Amino acid sequence: MKGSKNILVFHALLLLSLSFFVNSCSLLPTPTKGVIRGRVLLPPEIKVSSRDVSDWMPVAGVEVTIVDAEGFNRVKKTDKNGYYNFENTAVKANTVVTAITNVNKKTILLKKTIPIAVEKDKNYDVGILTPESTALALIVERLLVLDKESEISLSTIKNTLFFDELVELIKGVLKVSGNIIESHEIDCLIKNIVDELNNEEAEEEGFVPPEPSAKSAVKAINITTEPPDVNGVDNDKEVIVELTTATPGATIYYTTDGTVPTPDSTKYNTPIIVKTDKPEGEIITLKTIGIKSGYENSAISTKEIVFKVKTYTLSYNAGKNGSIFGDKEQTVEHGGNGMKVEAVPDEGYHFAKWSDDCIDNPRTDTDVTDDIDVTAGFAINIYTVTFDCNGGSEIEPQEVNHSETAAKPVDPTKTDCMFIGWYKDKSLTDVWNFEVDLVTDDTTLYARWIELLEIKWGFEDEIKREDAKNSKNISKYTPDKGNGELSLIGAHFGSTAPPIRYFTEGSDGEGSYAANSDSWYYDANIKYWQVKVSTKGYEDIKLSSKQRGDKTGPRDFKVQFSTNGDEWIDIDEGSIKVAEGFTSGTLDEISLPQECEDKYDLYLRWVKTTNKSIREYDDVGLYGTNRIDDIVITGKSISIP
What is the spatial distance between Cα 199 and Cα 364, in angstroms, rounded to a whole number?
Answer: 67
pLDDT attached to residue 485? 97
Mean pLDDT score, 211-223? 75
Radius of gyration (C-alpha) of the chain in whole angstroms: 61
52 lies in the same domain as 198:
yes
82 and 166 housed in the same domain: yes
**Domain containing 496: what range?**
455-636
- pTM for the full predicted model: 0.50
Q: Is residue 213 part of a domain?
A: no
The reply to whether 68 and 165 lie within a common domain is yes
For residues 425 and 454, what is the distance between their CA atoms, to the nearest angstrom? 29
Same domain, 35 and 81: yes
Asked whether residue 432 falls in the same domain as residue 490, the answer is no
Q: Which residue has the higher pLDDT, 638 or 383?
A: 383
What CATH number should be reported for the domain holding residue 415?
2.60.40.4270
Which residue from 396, 401, 408 is spatially nearest to 383, judged by alpha carbons? 401
Plot region of 218 (φ>0 → left; ψ -120 to 50 → alpha; else → beta): beta
Residue type, 206: G
Number of domains present in the structure of the chain = 5
- Residues 6 or more apart whose CB falls under 8 angstroms from that of 373 comprise 313, 315, 317
Q: Tally the C-alpha atoms within 13 A of residue 63's C-alpha that lie toward its C-beta.
A: 10
Please report whether residue 624 resides in a domain.
Answer: yes
Q: Which of the pair, 110 or 326, is modelled with greater confidence? A: 326
Residues 302 and 337 in one domain: no
Whether 486 and 594 map to the same domain: the answer is: yes
| Same domain assignment for residues 374 and 391 | no
Mean pLDDT over all residues of the chain? 87
Is residue 216 situated within a structural domain?
no
Contact assessment for residue 590 and residue 542, using Cβ atoms and an 8 Å cutoff: yes
Residue 200 has pLDDT above 90, yes or no: no
- Looking at residue 296, what DSSP letter applies? B
Q: Among the three residues 307, 329, 346, which one is the final residue of a domain in this structure?
A: 307
- The pLDDT value recorded for residue 608 is 97
CA distances from 512 to 182, 308, 476, 507 (A): 126, 101, 19, 5
Q: What is the dihedral of CA 415, 416, 420, 425, to 10 degrees?
A: -70
pLDDT of residue 517: 94
Residue range 477-485: average pLDDT?
A: 96
Whether 209 is in a domain gets the answer no
The predicted-structure confidence for 35-89, as pLDDT tens digits, reads as follows 999 998 877 655 444 445 556 788 888 899 999 888 888 899 999 888 999 998 9
DSSP 8-class letter at 460: -
State the pLDDT at residue 160.
85
How distant, in Å, are the alpha carbons of 152, 250, 267, 270 from that of 264? 39, 15, 8, 17
Task: Check whether 24 has a pLDDT greater than 50.
Answer: no
DSSP string, 257-295: SSPPP-TTSEEP-SPEEE----TT-EEEEEEEEEE-TTS
pLDDT at 196: 79
* pLDDT tens digit sequence for 102-152: 777 677 888 999 999 999 898 999 999 888 888 888 888 888 888 766 668
Q: What is the pLDDT of residues 329-357, one digit of tens each?
A: 999 999 999 999 999 999 999 999 999 99
214 within domain boundaries: no
- 566: nearest Cα among 534, 536, 532: 532
Q: What is the model's pLDDT at position 391?
A: 94
Quote the percentage of the chain above a pLDDT of 90: 63
- Same-domain check for residues 228 and 333: no
Q: What is the three-state SS of 465-503?
A: HHHHHHHCCHHHCCCCECCCEEEEECCEEECCCCCCCCE
pLDDT score of 211: 44
SS (H, E, C) 233-244: ECCCCCEEEEEE
Task: Let me know: does 421 contact 449? Beta carbons within 8 Å.
Answer: no
Distance CA 356, CA 315 (A): 12
Indicate the helix (H) or strand (E) that contains 15. helix 2-24
| Integer CA distances (angstroms), 552 to 497, 523, 618, 623, in order | 13, 15, 8, 7
Q: Last residue of a domain, which of 451, 472, 501? A: 451
Do 189 and 75 share a domain, yes or no? yes
DSSP letter string, 312-353: EEEEEEE-TTEEEES-SEEEEETT-----BEEEEPTTEEEEE
Element (H, E) at 609: none
Instruction: Determine the Cα–Cα distance for residues 579 and 589; give it in Å rounded to an integer.
Output: 19
Report the CATH number that the domain containing residue 238 is assigned in CATH: 2.60.40.10
Q: Which helix (H) or strand (E) holds 575?
A: strand 569-577
Claim to verify: residue 419 and residue 362 sit in the same structural domain: no
Final residue in a domain of this structure, among 291, 307, 323: 307
Task: Assess whether 534 and 622 both reside in one domain.
Answer: yes
* Per-residue pLDDT band at 1 (split at 50, 70, 90): very low
HEC sequence for 16-28? HHHHHHHHHCCCC
